[in-house]
Structure 1
Amino acid sequence: MSTDRPKLPQIEIERLVRIALEEDLGMAGDLTSDAAIDANALARAAFVARGDGILAGIEFAREAVRQLDPGAQFDVRIVDGTAIKRGDVVAEVQGNARALLAAERNALNFLTHLSGVATLTRRYVDAVAGTKAHIAATRKTLPGLRSAQKWAVRIGGGEPHRYGLFDAVLLKDNHLAASGSITKAIARARAYAGHMAKVACEVDRLDQLDEALAAGVDSVLLDNMDPPTLAEAVKRTAGRAITEASGGVSLDTVRAIAEAGVDVISIGRITHSAPVLDLALDWRE
């Protein structure tokens, strides 16, 4: 697992937070806070962990506050990628009370969700420790949040996989059916995509693997194979392509899959089904 702490470009954080705030505040702003709180009131608060896990998204929380109160003081106590425990104060903030209240939910939405993704990813990474397998995300992400979710996977020690349809060729079962054969599909992909793009192919049988390898594929996605079949697939591949296992991977099964010798294990649930890591904004006197 890399010890680097990847950063999402600030312009992307600003964009995602702006969209979230616009959705929440609409055309009229925060009706509750505007009605109940004096416009010039100041407040102090702290972002506090309510559970144990890996922190991810503190810059999203900071940006949510900044966009509503550019003069607010936001002090990060714990950085992204750090293991946190219940009761830890991850950041303290001081600024306009209305702004803090209006920013609260969106700051926590980003912080709890992205920390949840990082935490679940780390559990999978830890489960395969000592093997050569890398844990990777998939394109099974929440619409609009792919960049943030894949960043959180990296914070948890995983790999992002491809970011979209634009940065790699992955021939799946329906592509193969439409193309006529694995050999034809790979040949056409090679001719179209050029030398810089990798070509991967999904297979769910060993005879399909043999055909894909003969066609010169760069990576094979071994779909829903049990560990003994995966081990045979790795043996047949013999280093000629990257081997990636996918399909139905759980914390109970991932170790056996890794021990079959695959290079990568891709898991949709680390993005589409990660439970949130509970954090809260606690008001201070």
Structure 2
Amino acid sequence: MAILRLSTPGALFRPPADANTSTFQPCASSFLIPSSPFRKRSLSMSAVEARGSMMPVEPIVLKPPSHPTYDLKAVIALALAEDAGDRGDVTSLATVPSNMEVEAHFIAKEDGVIAGIALAEMIFDQVDPSLKVEWSTRDGNYIHKGTKFGKVYGCAHNIVVAERVVLNFMQRMSGIATFSKAMADAAYPACVLETRKTAPCLRLVDKWAVLIGGGKNHRMGLFDMVMIKDNHISIAGGVANALKGVDAFLEQKSLKLPVEVETRTLQEVEEVLDYASQNRTSLTRIMLDNMVIPLPDGDVDVTMLKEAVEMIDRRYETEASGNVSLETVKKVGETGVTYISSGALTHSVKALDISLKIDTDLALRVGRRTNRA
């Protein structure tokens, strides 16, 4: 797709040929791809002191989970391109003086776990590598409403161009991280997993946010784990037949992949254990699906889940799935299950409210000094 090729500076955001750009245009250094997606760019202390003290924090970058075909730079480019369209930011071209420099502050508008700082760095780099960014917190830290936790300094036009894309990613990731943190804390000692129920084209970003929040990643896609679910079992003619087919396939292809099988009843758990006791198998995990039974009073009955965990007796990893919420996850975790998976971590995310506000006083002072305000 042409919109993903960023070899030419300004390719995504070039104004139309008939636009008057003699006064209003993006900074000349705009929109270059950074040499490294995790390159740290922070203000020098002298520059910080000149614009008001802020305790800088060296970022600890929790890298995103790996994926063989996912191109995070291309996803960022697409997000920027859908905003810019074929004309660029016409409002900024009309109102923001050429080459005017400003400082903008990230402000938390509610309490939560911050996530997306490393990704924000990548976006600012992709829009304009000369932008200088500084943070007073790290991905995974808890912040409170009203906290100024970061700032960006440089070309006003390019900060405004990057603003919404940065905030869209950061707010979504922070919402996921906040909920993941709450679930992970409540589920301990069990580990909380997300699922493949992620926003299209944002799977790696969503799963990255879960990691930042303290959860763990389930399979990335259809390629990195064999997961035998109800439809596979129905087509194969039963749990044992499905496992037999998987074992034969992996041996034939000389593949070593984790294998999980879904069970819905104690009888199916017994069938899996019987098969595994009589055959050489690649089975690594047993999913215990919908064995958490909702009760009329809002509580849950975990009797069947606990019995299944005891039947398996640590011979295989176990994963509870279904009827898991922040209210029920503690009780589920106390059954001794290894993992608890919840699609709600990513499919029902509530974004954390974050804003990016330009320091108007500084902008006006700079503008007066340079006759640009």
The TM-score range, normalised by the shorter chain, is: over 0.9
> Shift in Å at residue 201 of structure 1?
0.8
Instruction: State the partner residue of 2:186.
Output: 127
Q: Does the 8 Å CA contact 1:78/1:89 hold for their aligned counterparts?
A: no
Q: Deviations over 1:243-266 (max 9, x none)?
A: 100012111111111111111000
- Secondary structure of 2:205's counterpart equals helix
Instruction: State the partner residue of 1:87.
Output: 146
What amino acid maps onto 1:62 in structure 2? E
Q: Deviations over 1:115-148 (max 9, x none)?
A: 111100000011123xx31101111111111111
> Shift in Å at residue 9 of structure 1?
7.7
Instruction: State the partner residue of 2:220.
Output: 163
Instruction: State the partner residue of 1:201.
Output: 261
Distance 2:175 2:232 in 1: 33
Question: Higher helix proportion, which one?
Answer: 1
Distance 2:62 2:321 in 1: 25
How many residues align? The count is 280
Distance 2:184 2:61 in 1: 15
Q: Does the 8 Å CA contact 2:306/2:336 hold for their aligned counterparts?
A: yes
> Shift in Å at residue 12 of structure 1?
4.8
Residue number among 226, 232, 235 corresponding to 2:307 in the alignment: 232
Residue number among 354, 360, 368 corresponding to 1:279 in the alignment: 354
Instruction: State the partner residue of 1:270.
Output: 345
> Shift in Å at residue 87 of structure 1?
1.7
Q: Does the 8 Å CA contact 1:17/1:60 hold for their aligned counterparts?
A: no
- Secondary structure of 2:233's counterpart equals helix
> Shift in Å at residue 215 of structure 1?
2.1
Q: Does the 8 Å CA contact 1:213/1:241 hold for their aligned counterparts?
A: no
> Shift in Å at residue 213 of structure 1?
1.8
Distance 1:62 1:154 in 2: 18
Where in structure 2 are the equivalents of 1:108-119 lying within 5 Å? 108-119=167-178
Instruction: State the partner residue of 1:149.
Output: 206
Q: Runs (4+) of structure 1 moved beyond 3 Å?
A: 9-13
| TM-score using structure 1 length | 0.94
Q: Percent identity?
A: 39
What amino acid maps onto 1:6 in structure 2? L
> Shift in Å at residue 272 of structure 1?
1.0
Residue number among 62, 67, 74 corresponding to 1:6 in the alignment: 62
- Secondary structure of 2:151's counterpart equals strand
Larger radius of gyration: 2
Distance 1:223 1:128 in 2: 17
Residue number among 246, 253, 262 corresponding to 2:321 in the alignment: 246
Instruction: State the partner residue of 1:138.
Output: 195
Q: Does the 8 Å CA contact 2:174/2:209 hold for their aligned counterparts?
A: yes
Instruction: State the partner residue of 1:56.
Output: 115
Instruction: State the partner residue of 2:287.
Output: 221
- Secondary structure of 2:214's counterpart equals coil
Q: Does the 8 Å CA contact 1:183/1:212 hold for their aligned counterparts?
A: yes
Distance 2:209 2:350 in 1: 13
Distance 1:165 1:70 in 2: 36
Instruction: State the partner residue of 2:235.
Output: 178
| TM-score using structure 2 length | 0.72
Q: Does the 8 Å CA contact 1:213/1:240 hold for their aligned counterparts?
A: no
What amino acid maps onto 1:153 in structure 2? V
